[in-house]
Amino acid sequence: METSDFLSSTSSTSSLDDLSDSDDDFELPVKITKRKIQAEASSLPPKKPRHNDALRKLSRLSCSPNVSSAETSQGHQSFQDTPRPDKRELDSDDPTINAKNIYDAVSSGKSDLMTVVDEWLDYYKQRHKQGLLVLINFIVQCCGCQGVVSREMLDSMQNAEIIATLTRQFDRSLASYPLSGAGSSPKRFRAGLCKFASVLVRLCQNSLIYDEYLFASLLSLLTGLSDSQVRAFRHTSTLIAMKLMSGIVEVVVAVSFQMQTIQRYYNLEMGKDMEDQSSQRLEELQASITELLRKKEELSSLLNATFRGIFVHRYRDRVVKIRAACMEELGVWIKKNPDNFLNDGCLKYLGWMLNDKQSVVRLQCVRSLQNLYTEKKFIGHLELFTNRFKKRMLNMVMDKQYEIAVEVIKLLLQIQQNTGEVLQEEECAHIYTLVYAAQHSLASAAGLFLYLKLKSVIDSENEQGINSAFFQELINFYVQCKFHDHGIYLVDSLWDVAAAELKDWECMTTLLLQENDLTNVEEDTLIELMVCAIRRAMEATPPVGRIWVKKGLSAKQMKTREQDRQRITTHFIPLLSQLLAKYSADPGKVKLLLQVPLYFNLDTSSSAQWMEKHLDQILTQICLIVEKHTENAVLEACSKLIDTLCSNSHTFSSRAHLAFSQLFDNLTEHFYTYYSDLMQAPTDDVFSGAMALKRMAALVSARNLSTERLFDSCTDLLKSRMESRHFDKELMVAALRCSGFHLMWAKVNLPSLPTKEEVKRLKEEVAFFCQICQECLSIAQTEIRDQAFELLCDLLLLYRANTVRSEPGLQKVYYVPSHFLTAEMAVFLLDYIFMDEMEEEADEEAIKHLQKKRRLLAGYCKLVIFGVVDLSAATNVYKYYDKNYKDFGDIIKDTITKTKLINPVLSARSLCLTVQQVFTEMLVEGVNKRNVDEIKDLAKKLAMTFGNNLQHVRKPLVALHMDGIRFAFRGCQEEEEQHSNVAFLELLSEFSFKLLQQDKDLLMDILKSQCPTAALSWDSVNVYQRSLKGTQAKLGERVEAITSPTMPVTKRQKINTGDKKIIKRQKIDTGGLMANFNSTLDCSSIHSSELPSPILTSTALKQPPTKFGSRGGVYESDVGSGLTEPESDDEFNLESQRPEMLSTKRLRSTPIQRGLNTQLNLLLLNDDFSEQEEEAESVK
């Protein structure tokens, strides 16, 4: 027989019948009809099968287009259709071989499954039927079914009837089955079950896999179970079938390898001369080839039947784990047996499931494709698949699951490396921009892609060297991407793969010091990248804002960091002065270069004699830069560097301090040259004096260089400008900074036993400066106003009374702000922090403006936390907790938390006072001028700041309710129909759900004693009573609410609460309190239904109270959870799948013009605050 004849015969039987190589196979069948379940009982007795009859029947049932899937799984294939063992088989059972023992061995994860399977095989070889019955019951037990298949059922029933019986015996009340769940036990059981199936095939590969009974019967049962409506049956049987098929694929590969080896021997024998040929040898080889062909045909029949009977239907199952298991095993089949599976008919399933709605399935598809693209011999067969699904893979780099996006980038990198120019440059640019992503793993994957792309275009024979060419390409990329403010993120993305190149300081400085090699933009970029690389090497952590798994530095990483620090110090100290001299005229470059010495190891460098000269040169350059530049960024960088160099921990600090003192003296002399002109306002020649004072302020902020004369001059200058109303921004800001820093240094350097004159003078200076700053708060110049407020917060915090209690000599060195000053600061917050109408600004400017406002608000909140201002002053901040949560919510929430730690009762009462002030403003301005729902939302959000430890918050909550009750009935007369403040009880009811029952009873008695007799029937009182009783409002009940936009202050008015409106209110209140706040604000202390449902307002339907721990597990239903085909490839993009961020709409009300009078009117509510403290303490 010729070689070609054997090969053609082999190829004709080795491929799957249902798989084609046409491009039409990539079209996803959108319309899917539900398979009907048909069960037909065979009326004829079973016939004795012929050779391979069981395999052929199983294959025909799976391959026939006229047979439904139900028929394939349940209809005509029974255990009786397969060959039966001889009558000599024994019916007795071996007690050591049973389904329970095998199940325990598999689920424990500690048993040797090779021994377990081997013992079962010995038992099966002696008792075929009984052994098969043990294996079937083992599979049933793996499904979590309590039913058992008996010998009578096996002999008299077909598969469909057996499965129907097991379905009826299945306990559907169970919430799980062995393979379900996400804990360690299901994972261990899954691993054991998969290993059991693999070992079973491996031990049977030379004998029982061809016995025409065991695997045919087993796969027939699994095919029927995989089509069951019971999820446990479907999931378990599919997983076992997929693993069995993977094992059979390995057997097919082994048989094919044996056949190829024997075929070579046969060809060698046939190639000999006729007299040298051995006819016996040829007959033996021919018989071996024929036998292997027969085995391969039988195995192909099993594969074909399993693929068409199980995989084709289950790859789109409604259960996610089933779909993922199918995709995982399909990747294994294609890689191990490419002759049969590496074709478009199989690859199309991986392409289709890239659009799956579940991330687990998409991730498994990507990983399966990664295993395929690593094999270069597969690339030719993957060409059509790559062109068809390339667009989808490019879109998946923006997947909402970062893990999938990372794996897709790795996949595209393999495609780019192995397929040449399949990805165009504009398609690669889609990946490049991800180096600026917030997720560290995603950015690192994109950095690897970019790095390899840059390296591919670098000429290794470049005269400047490989690293020089790398930096040139990196600079070009950075400039073209136009992300000029994110250099640190680019460096961090490349750090894992290009750390060696980015640490090449010699190459960077060489490029910078060369003449006319780089353009101005390229020099800016290279300096920025160099400084970012130094910072990344020293910090050894990703930059702020990049999400990564936080972990401490290892000993090796710390050693590497110290080595890099020493290299940076040794290399840059001789060259930094040259770089500063070359780029001294460019503020942007100088600002970056001044950051380099911050990472020097100055202790080591100062001990080296040869480096002292270079350090002196650096000091000289810094002094020249201060004298030359007036930009805030440059002066701030100089200030940080001066503070570092003058640190007393370095031996070099004395020389640095001397140099900067001389510089300050020169600037002071220059300032006093123009001082007389500056005092004569108005004058046009103020620039030189103002710039000198600005430079002096930068130096004073770093070191104590100020004098009493300078402070007096600055304050006189400020006073003169305030009186003349001629405000120069640069001059007044510099004067404020010099004066403020002088007072700060004076407090820090004050001796432990100061004289009375020193204390008196210092207190007078602080009071005088605070008065100047208070007047500056009303100036229209934003820079002056913000600087004055910032200095006020710092000075009041530094000179607070409780900072000097430990030093007896300093007990009188403190300053208490006046009520007028605190009122002015509160008005500043109202006008310029919370109610500031921001103009149309660029994104960068808007971010800077918001950062400045957050810094100013944080300064005021520190005054509240440290007791500088009264706790009631915090209401000026708390009232905007809801409206401005997006911008300042974290700061306000942290302030509330800190104040509760200091004084829980007073903190709770301040929250009540906040709601009272907002409520009073609404009544004064008119109900139609404020959305009452916002007040309710504020009350709900403030109530959520109390923890879920109800015992811990008892006293604060009781004090809060007592204040609220007194406020509601303040000035209420017996004959009055309803007082305007009584409606406040509806807002107070938002805090009732945190109360314990005994406290509710106490407050109920207090309510009855406080309110008039006629008031007990008022609707607002009834709402509050129901919140204390925990009862539910009746549907359609007409109650009074404060939500009417036209309600007079003293008139009663009913609101139409039809069924529809009540239901709508229920949705708003209940969902808004528990769901919307948790998802949008993420600040609630209650994350589950451990507490009863909160009592809501009068217009809402209240839920029945639930018991603690009443949440029960619900078994996930299969109904309505089927997989739907995606409508487009973009369905799972990050842009379409990422949940939209819920923005908090800022209240754009009319700016308050009443100024200080308005604030004083609001503060009138604080009169009783101190008087009520003793009453609140009585509750303790």
Contact residues for 603 (Cβ-Cβ < 8 A; gap 6+) = 649, 650, 651
User: Which pLDDT band, with edges at 50, 70 and 90, does 1141 fall under?
Assistant: very low
Spatial distance between the Cα atoms of 319 and 920, rounded to a whole number of angstroms:
57
The residues pairing with 1054 across neighbouring beta strands, listed in sequence order, are 1040
Taking the C-alpha atoms of 779, 781, 787 and 789 in order, what is their torsion angle to the nearest 10 degrees? Answer: 40
How much is the pLDDT for 370? 94
The tens digit of pLDDT for each residue in 415-444 reads: 998 887 788 888 888 899 999 999 999 999
List of long-range contacts for 161-168, beta carbons under 8 Å, 24+ apart? 161/39, 161/41, 162/221, 163/74, 163/224, 163/225, 163/228, 163/233, 164/39, 166/140, 166/233, 167/228, 167/229, 167/230, 167/233
For 890-927, b where at least 16 C-beta lie within 10 A, e where not — what string?
Answer: ebbbebbeebbeeebbbbbbbbbbbbbbbbbbbeeeeb
pLDDT at 173: 67
Distance CA 457, CA 909 (A): 68
- Residue 888 to residues 445, 854, 932, 1141, Cα–Cα distance (Å): 34, 7, 21, 16
Angstrom CA distances, 15 to 179, 342, 387, stand at: 33, 10, 24
**How many angstroms separate the CA atoms of 936 and 17, rounded?**
68
Q: Where do the H-state alpha helices sit in 127-277?
A: 128-142, 151-156, 159-169, 184-204, 214-226, 231-270
The dihedral over CA atoms of 1053, 1058, 1063, 1067, expressed in degrees to the nearest 10, equals -30
For residue 757 the two structure tokens come to: 């004159």
Distance, CA of 987 to CA of 13 (rounded, Å): 80
- Given a contact cutoff of 8 angstroms between Cβ atoms, the answer to whether 63 and 304 are in contact is yes
Lowest-pLDDT range, 85-99, 371-385, 653-667, 913-927? 85-99
Beta pairing partners, 1040: 1054
Nearest to 668 by CA among 705, 631, 613: 705
For residue 805, name the pLDDT band (cuts at 50, 70, 90): low
Question: Tokens 């799957």 belong to which residue?
Answer: 16
Predicted pLDDT at 880: 92
Flag whether pLDDT at 360 surpasses 50. yes
For residue 1055, give the amino acid letter.
Answer: I
Structural contact between residues 527 and 592, judged by C-beta atoms closer than 8 angstroms: yes
For residue 120, the model assigns a pLDDT of: 93
Question: With 90 as the cut, is the pLDDT of residue 359 above it?
Answer: yes
Q: Which long-range contacts (CB under 8 A, 24 or more apart) does 964-970 make?
A: 964/912, 964/915, 964/916, 964/988, 964/991, 965/1003, 965/1006, 965/1007, 965/1010, 965/1011, 966/1010, 966/1168, 966/1172, 967/912, 967/916, 968/1011, 968/1020, 969/1010, 969/1011, 969/1012, 969/1015
CA atoms within 13 A on the CB side of 244: 27
- The residues with which 547 forms a beta bridge, in sequence order, are 439
Task: Specify which residues 3 forms β-bridges with.
Answer: none
800: helix, strand or coil: coil
CA-to-CA distance for 160 and 163, rounded, in angstroms? 5
- CA–CA distance, 563 with 228 (Å, rounded to integer): 65
How far is the C-alpha of 251 from the C-alpha of 205, rounded, in Å?
A: 6
Confidence label for 305 from pLDDT (cuts 50, 70 and 90): very high
Say whether pLDDT at 1039 is over 70: no
CB count, 10 Å around CB of 523? 19
Q: What is the mean pLDDT of residues 144-150?
A: 89
Given a cut of 90, whether residue 794 has pLDDT beyond it is yes
pLDDT digits (tens, 9 = 90+) for 970-986: 877 665 666 788 888 88
Q: How confident is the model at residue 809 (pLDDT cuts 50, 70, 90)?
A: low
C-alpha distances out from residue 1135 to 351, 796, 1139, 1140, Å: 21, 47, 9, 9
493, burial (CB in 10 Å: exposed 0-12, middle 13-18, buried 19+): buried
Q: Phi and psi dihedrals of 93, rounded to 5?
A: -100, 145
More confident of the two residues 279 and 1143: 279
Per-residue pLDDT tens digits for 1084-1101: 222 322 323 222 222 223
Q: Give the pLDDT score at 545.
A: 82
| Residues belonging to the chain | 1180
Percent of the chain with pLDDT over 70: 75
Residue 740: its pLDDT value, please? 93
Q: Rounded to an integer, what distance in angstroms lies between the CA atom of residue 944 and that of residue 1136?
A: 32
Mean predicted confidence (pLDDT) in 688-706: 89
Q: Yes or no: say if 529 and 474 are a contact pair by the CB < 8 Å rule.
A: yes
| Closest-CA residue to 368 (of 388, 384, 383, 382) | 382
- Residue 1174's pLDDT is 42
Ranges 102-116, 197-211, 270-284: which has the least confidence: 270-284
CA distance 1103 to 157: 53
> pTM of the predicted model, to two decimals?
0.74
Q: CA–CA separation, 316 vs 314, rounded Å?
A: 5
3-state secondary structure of 1077: helix
CA dihedral 629, 635, 639, 644 (to 10 degrees): -70
Rounded to the nearest integer, the mean pLDDT of the chain is 77
In angstroms, the CA 263 to CA 296 distance is 14
Distances (CA, A) of 930 to 222, 298, 920, 1174: 67, 81, 11, 34
The one-letter code for the residue type at 771 is: Q
By C-alpha distance, which of 125, 45, 46 is closest to 86? Answer: 125
Q: How far apart are CA 800 and CA 544, in angstroms?
A: 33
Identity (one letter) of the amino acid at 461?
E
Q: Do residues 73 and 309 lie in contact, with contact meaning Cβ atoms separated by under 8 Å?
A: yes
> For residue 304, what are its two tokens?
């074909």
- Rounded CA gap, 1056 and 1039, in Å? 9
1097: left (phi over 0), alpha (psi -120 to 50) or beta: beta
Q: What is the mean pLDDT of residues 685-694?
A: 85
Q: In a 10 Å sphere around its CB, with 0-12 CB exposed, 13-18 middle and 19+ buried, how is residue 676 labelled?
A: exposed
State the alpha helices, DSSP H only, in 420-486: 425-432, 440-456, 466-481
pLDDT at 121 over 60: yes
Mean of the pLDDT values across residues 453-476? 77
pLDDT at 94 over 70: no
Token digits of residue 767:
């009071």
Closest CA to 646 of 635, 654, 637: 654
On whether the CB atoms of residues 99 and 106 are closer than 8 A, the answer is no
pLDDT computed for residue 1046 by the predictor = 30
Assign 3-class secondary structure to 504-548: CHHHHHHHHHCCCCCCHHHHHHHHHHHHHHHHHHHHCCCCCCCEC
Q: Does 223 have pLDDT greater than 60?
A: yes
SS (H, E, C) 765-790: HHHHHHHHHHHHCCCCCHHHHHHHHH
Residue 532 has pLDDT above 60, yes or no: yes
Are the C-beta atoms of 883 and 1147 separated by less than 8 Å?
A: yes
| pLDDT given for residue 654 in this prediction | 85
Q: Considering the chain, what percentage of its residues have pLDDT values greater than 90? A: 44
* Other beta carbons less than 10 A from residue 516's beta carbon: 5
